[in-house]
Amino acid sequence: MQRNPIIPFILIMAFGIGLIFFLSMDGVGNKEEIAATEEHGEGTEGGEDASAGEFDPEALAQGKCIGCHGNSYEGGMGPSLVGTSLSEDEIKDVLANGKGAMPADLVPEENLDAMAAWITSLE
């Protein structure tokens, strides 16, 4: 009697799909906890110190900018931020509206001034 090779494949696929389904249900069950964590500033990415309530431009840059601008902000896929020739107003415009591959709204609007000042201070 010959064994059908497709049956084990189907069983493995069914197990995998079932596993993904059941693991995804954990996230659905925790949506209130996840929303509360986001609301209280816990686990926010890049730059907001939930305990002090102060904006930290360097922390935001470490979380969101180094991927394109490099670990030392001297360029990579994106241009160098060190010694930029852009004015603070031009930097705020790029941060708010994006430019080229740079996405918009990476910095909260209320923190644009602080972020632009920090970028122009890089040497």
- Using N-to-C axis directions, what is the helix angle for 112-121 and 57-64, rounded to 10°? 80
Q: Which two tokens stand for residue 16?
A: 């995998």
pLDDT tens for the chain, 123 residues: list them. Answer: 677 778 888 888 998 888 887 777 666 556 666 566 555 554 444 444 444 568 999 999 998 899 899 889 998 888 999 999 999 999 999 999 999 888 999 899 999 999 999 999 998
> Can you give the pLDDT at residue 5?
76
Closest CA to 111 of 49, 37, 66, 69: 49
